[in-house]
Every structure is written in structure tokens, then in C-alpha cells.
């Protein structure tokens, strides 16, 4: 089985390479077609920001892909069949120059093989539904944002332009602040967006100071937008890295989770090597009385025989249930025998878990935390969960859900590095057919329009990815380019090409799913 795992990981990385043919080209299509960068420069530019995305995005998308099916109900042969089907379909559409979605190919293949193995009950239908909806919503959102940005950008009135930019910026920042508070978006994401907005505003102000009421030449405007396109293409590449690199990371994590459970079931001859071990994080989700979503992510510490945990940004004594310190160190109560804040803060650790059948277990102690939805009262840190379970039965309170997720902190570092490297190499090796389709066939793209399309695409990816939706970068940039083209006139968009793309998008999930089922049956037959 160890050899099979290595084969699965190898094919997953191969798929990432093929993904580079397809989706990484989306990051550079407009910047190459407008001749801002040469293809080789654009590849290096995109690859650099794909890697930087690791520190910007969390693992929301990767977790969704990994959890598309019940990992306790599948085996490595299922993942192998899904990967083979997805790789085959990606190669075929690449050869034909059709920018289909690698995201949907991967998810369709994974789901199709799982259904062939264990039936439709193994599918997480809610996750699949979100993916299907965003086949259509992603390009619409990207197109709408691109249209607004383009209308603002081409405005000749400086003050009108500034007013609209500030209004749109205010809305964007408010949305991102909400996402930081309620869906755990990293603050660095908002700083990046604010930085982009600031650069755009400063460039427009400088351009206004230099030229004033004198209308600049088309060449000078084009040169300005070429410089801005370096920023917009970097932002889209960042979004692409955050969205697409995670998808293969999610599949590899699913394979490692399956392999780890095989070890726990005694099906392996040797212990799981350290570099192949993976754990998950858990959280309890529910809505508060005022309708706000709350997430409890257990962080616990044992100091001088006492158990402490973090909840509601407060450090709480698990025995008494009393809040002692705020997360920033502010003392909330005098509790006899309480350890100093710094000592507790240094000792706090996230509870890493693994799922084994119906049990959710502590990865460090192997102790059961929850069996189905009932808390193990003998668990060392059971007191941390007291607020969320019935005191007499230990059952999870009504309206509360336990979710498990793979996370960048709990997976081997080589997984992320390998995925980012392979997607960059894929772009370098062969995505130019897709570049041609995206950059020239849908509508003629100028530097101004490239800036608008890439900026809109980046904002769409930044936002949607935080909700864990594996949105297609292909669909997003296509919709953005169409939105920009529509500002000139609807006839500027080559709708024949666009309709062909739409058919490819619609067919990708069912076709890749069917191919995966065929591959699975062939593998089982020859195995």
C-alpha cells in the first residue's frame, strides 16, 4: 500500500502539472496578450505570487476538496481512479485549447470514483452543490465587478472616478473586515487589498497632477495601465495560487488521511512515516441567540495540574468555567491558584484530531473525544467542551455541529511546496493554447481592459476562496474578460467562443465523474 500511496501522490502532482497547462495560464493570459510581459517573464511573475499565496490564504479550499467524500468510506484506489480521469480530461481539453476547469475536473473525478466504490451516500452533497452553483456564479460575479471597474476607469472625470473608487473600496474593506471576524480570513488579505487600492489611487492622482485638464495621449494612458497591469496580474496570480494550488493539496491530504486510517486498522506492515502523517483540526459551529455564527476551535493547555482553554477570545479555567484572562492578556478575574497569563499563553496548543469510523480522536493521545455526537467525559480536556454539550448526557447541544478540517499547520510542508512548484512548471511547459483563447479569442484585450479584468478576477478569488468554495480561475477570468468587453458593446464579445466555453464548463463534472467510474472499474478488474 505504501507504493500505491506514492503512485497516488505522484499522479496528483502530475495533475498539478497539467493544471499548470490550463489554469495557471489564466494568470498570465491578459498580461502576455497586451505585451506587458513576455511569456517567460509572466510565468516567473505568476509562479512567484503562487508561492507567496501560501502565507496569505488558509486551507479552506483544500479542505473542501479533501472532504468532498467521506474519507472513512473510500480507499487509495478510489483516489487513484479519480486522479487518472481528471488528468486525462485536462490533457484532452488542453490539447483542444478549451479552458475547462481543473477544479471541477478534479472534484468530478474524485466524486465519480467514490460513487462507483461506495454509492451516492458517500458524497457530501452540500459541498458538491456549492461547486456546481459557482460554475455559473463565479463568471457572473467576476464579470459584474470587471464591468464596474472598467466603467470607473474609462471615466474622464477625475473626481467622479475618485468618488466611485472610494465608495467601492469602502464596501470591499467592510466585507473583508466581516470575513476576518466571522470566517477567519487572515488579516494580511485585507492589507493586500488596501495596498492595491492605495496604489491605484496614487497612480490616478499622479496622472491627474501631471496632465491636469490636458487630455493625455492614448499611448501615455496605455503605458500607465501597463504599469498597473503588473500589479493586477500579481494580484490575480496570488488569487490563483491560493485557490488552485490548494485543490491538489486537498487530494493529497485525503490520500494521507486514508493511509493513516489504514495504519490504525492494522492494514499496514510498517508504521506510517513521519513525513506522511497528517492530522486535522476541529471546530464546533452554531448560531448565537442574536443570529451570529460562532465557531469554537479548541486550544488547550495544562499548567501546574490545571486545564485551561480559549473560547470567545478568553482564557478559561476548565474546572470552574471562569474566564481568567482576555486573549490579549487583560486580567478578567482573580482566581486563586491561576497560572500567569504568559505561562498559559505559551502552553496553549490547538487540539489536533483524526477521525476513525464514528469516533473523533485526539491525535497526540489517541483518546476518543467524541463518539458520534457524544463527548467522552473521561477525555483529559473534556472540560473545554462543557458549554457545548448537555451536562447530563454529554450529547452535543441542538443546533451545534462538529466540523473537521485539514489545515496548513497540520500537514507535511512538502505537500504545499510540491503543489506550488508543479503548477509553476506546468505553466512554463505548455499553457499557450489557453493563453491564446483567453487573451485574444473572447474579446480584444488592451492594457486598460487587462487591468480591469485581472483586478476583478483577483477580488472574486480573494472573496470566494475564503468560503472554502473551489471556484474555477478559468471561469472567473473568462467572466471578467467578458464583463470588460461588454463596456464597449455587447457585440465586442465573441459569444460563439463563449458559448462553447460554457458547454465545456457544464460537461466537465459529469464527464470527469463518468470517466473516473470507468477508470475505477478497470482498476478493480485488473487489480
Query: What pLDDT, in 10s, does the model give residues 407-428?
Result: 777 888 888 888 878 877 777 6
Query: What pLDDT, in 10s, does the model give residues 374-405?
Result: 999 999 999 899 889 998 888 999 889 998 88
Query: What pLDDT, in 10s, does the model give residues 294-342?
Result: 888 899 999 988 999 998 889 999 888 889 999 888 888 888 888 899 9
Burial call 436-469: b when 16+ CB within 10 Å, e when fewer:
ebbbebbbebbbbbbbbbbbbbbbbbbbbbbebb
Distance of alpha carbon 69 from alpha carbon 325, whole angstroms:
40
Candidates 391, 385, 344; CA nearest to 368 is 385
Candidates 87, 73, 116, 450; CA nearest to 458 is 450
Phi-psi region of 351 (alpha: psi -120 to 50; beta: other; left: phi over 0): beta
DSSP-assigned letter for residue 439:
I
- Per-chain mean pLDDT for the chain: 82
Q: Which of 20-29, 127-136, 482-491 has the highest mean pLDDT?
A: 127-136
More confident: 248 or 26: 248
Distance of alpha carbon 522 from alpha carbon 527, whole angstroms:
8
User: Which of 146-160, 233-247, 411-425, 489-503 has the weakest average pLDDT?
Assistant: 489-503
Q: Which of 91-100, 120-129, 223-232, 247-256 has the highest mean pLDDT?
A: 247-256
- β-sheet with 306-311: strand ranges across: 323-326, 314-317, 306-311, 299-303, 349-350
238 touches 53 (CB < 8 A): yes
Distance of alpha carbon 132 from alpha carbon 378, whole angstroms:
43
- Rounded to 5 degrees, φ, ψ at 324 are -105, -45
pTM value? 0.82
Query: What pLDDT, in 10s, does the model give residues 38-62?
Result: 777 777 787 788 778 777 777 788 8
Q: What is the pLDDT of residue 445?
A: 66
User: Which of 137-151, 185-199, 259-273, 306-320 has the weakest average pLDDT?
Assistant: 185-199
- Domain coordinates of the chain in residue numbers? 2-156+215-262+413-521, 281-405
Query: What pLDDT, in 10s, does the model give residues 62-95?
Result: 888 888 888 888 899 999 999 999 888 877 876 7
Three-state DSSP at 130 gives: helix
Query: What pLDDT, in 10s, does the model give residues 467-488?
Result: 878 887 777 877 888 888 777 6
Q: Is the pLDDT of residue 442 over 50?
A: no
DSSP-assigned letter for residue 280:
E
Distance of alpha carbon 154 from alpha carbon 316, whole angstroms:
55
Q: What is the pLDDT of residue 76?
A: 92
DSSP-assigned letter for residue 472:
-
- Rounded to 5 degrees, φ, ψ at 303 are -130, 120
Amino acid at each position: 500500500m505504501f507504493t500505491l500511496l506514492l503512485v497516488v501522490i505522484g499522479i496528483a502532482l502530475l495533475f498539478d502539472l497539467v493544471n499548470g497547462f490550463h489554469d495557471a495560464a489564466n494568470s498570465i493570459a491578459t498580461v502576455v496578450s497586451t505585451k506587458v510581459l513576455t511569456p517567460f517573464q509572466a510565468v516567473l511573475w505568476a509562479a512567484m505570487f503562487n508561492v507567496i499565496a501560501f502565507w496569505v490564504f488558509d486551507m479552506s479550499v483544500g479542505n473542501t476538496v479533501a472532504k468532498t467524500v467521506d474519507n472513512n468510506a473510500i480507499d487509495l484506489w478510489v483516489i487513484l481512479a479519480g486522479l487518472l480521469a481528471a488528468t486525462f480530461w485536462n490533457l484532452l481539453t488542453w490539447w483542444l485549447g478549451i479552458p475547462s476547469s481543473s477544479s471541477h475536473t478534479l472534484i468530478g473525478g474524485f466524486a465519480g470514483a467514490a460513487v462507483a466504490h461506495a454509492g451516492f451516500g458517500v458524497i457530501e452533497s452540500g459541498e458538491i452543490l456549492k461547486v456546481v452553483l459557482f460554475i455559473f456564479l463565479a463568471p457572473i460575479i467576476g464579470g459584474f465587478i470587471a464591468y464596474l471597474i472598467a466603467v470607473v476607469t474609462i471615466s474622464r472625470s477625475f473626481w467622479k472616478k475618485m468618488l466611485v473608487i472610494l465608495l467601492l473600496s469602502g464596501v470591499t474593506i467592510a466585507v473583508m473586515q466581516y470575513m476576518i471576524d466571522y470566517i477567519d480570513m487572515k488579516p494580511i488579505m485585507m492589507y493586500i487589498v488596501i495596498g492595491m487600492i492605495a496604489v491605484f489611487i496614487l497612480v490616478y492622482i499622479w496622472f491627474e497632477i501631471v496632465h491636469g485638464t490636458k487630455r493625455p495621449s492614448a499611448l501615455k494612458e496605455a503605458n500607465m495601465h501597463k504599469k498597473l497591469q503588473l500589479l493586477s496580474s500579481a494580484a490575480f496570480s496570488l488569487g490563483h495560487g491560493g485557490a488552485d494550488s490548494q485543490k491538489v493539496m486537498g487530494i493529497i491530504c485525503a490520500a494521507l488521511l486514508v493511509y493513516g486510517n489504514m495504519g490504525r486498522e492494522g492494514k499496514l506492515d510498517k508504521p506510517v512515516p513521519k513525513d506522511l502523517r497528517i492530522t486535522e483540526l476541529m471546530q464546533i459551529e452554531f448560531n448565537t441567540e442574536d443570529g451570529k455564527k460562532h465557531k469554537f476551535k479548541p486550544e488547550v493547555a495544562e499548567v501546574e495540574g490545571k486545564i485551561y482553554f480559549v473560547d470567545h477570545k478568553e482564557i478559561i479555567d476548565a474546572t470552574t468555567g471562569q474566564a481568567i484572562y482576555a486573549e490579549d492578556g487583560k486580567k478578567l478575574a482573580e482566581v486563586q491558584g491561576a497560572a500567569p497569563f504568559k505561562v498559559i499563553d505559551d502552553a496553549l496548543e490547538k487540539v489536533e484530531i483524526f477521525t476513525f469510523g464514528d469516533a473523533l480522536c485526539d491525535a497526540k493521545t489517541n483518546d476518543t473525544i467524541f463518539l458520534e455526537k457524544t463527548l467522552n467525559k473521561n477525555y483529559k480536556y473534556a472540560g473545554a467542551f462543557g458549554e457545548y454539550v448537555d451536562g447530563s448526557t454529554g450529547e452535543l447541544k441542538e443546533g451545534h455541529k462538529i466540523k473537521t478540517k485539514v489545515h496548513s499547520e497540520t500537514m507535511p510542508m512538502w505537500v504545499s511546496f510540491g503543489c506550488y512548484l508543479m503548477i509553476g512548471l506546468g505553466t512554463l511547459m505548455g499553457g499557450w493554447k489557453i493563453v491564446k483563447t483567453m487573451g485574444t479569442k473572447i474579446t480584444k484585450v488592451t492594457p486598460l481592459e487587462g487591468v480591469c479584468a485581472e483586478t476583478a478576477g483577483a477580488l472574486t478569488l480573494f472573496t470566494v476562496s475564503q468560503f472554502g468554495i473551489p471556484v474555477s480561475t478559468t471561469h472567473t477570468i473568462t467572466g471578467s474578460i467578458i464583463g470588460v468587453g461588454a463596456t464597449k458593446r455587447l457585440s465586442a464579445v465573441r459569444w460563439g467562443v463563449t458559448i462553447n466555453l460554457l458547454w465545456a464548463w457544464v460537461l466537465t463534472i459529469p464527464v470527469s465523474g463518468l470517466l473516473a467510474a470507468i477508470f475505477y472499474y478497470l482498476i478493480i478488474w485488473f487489480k
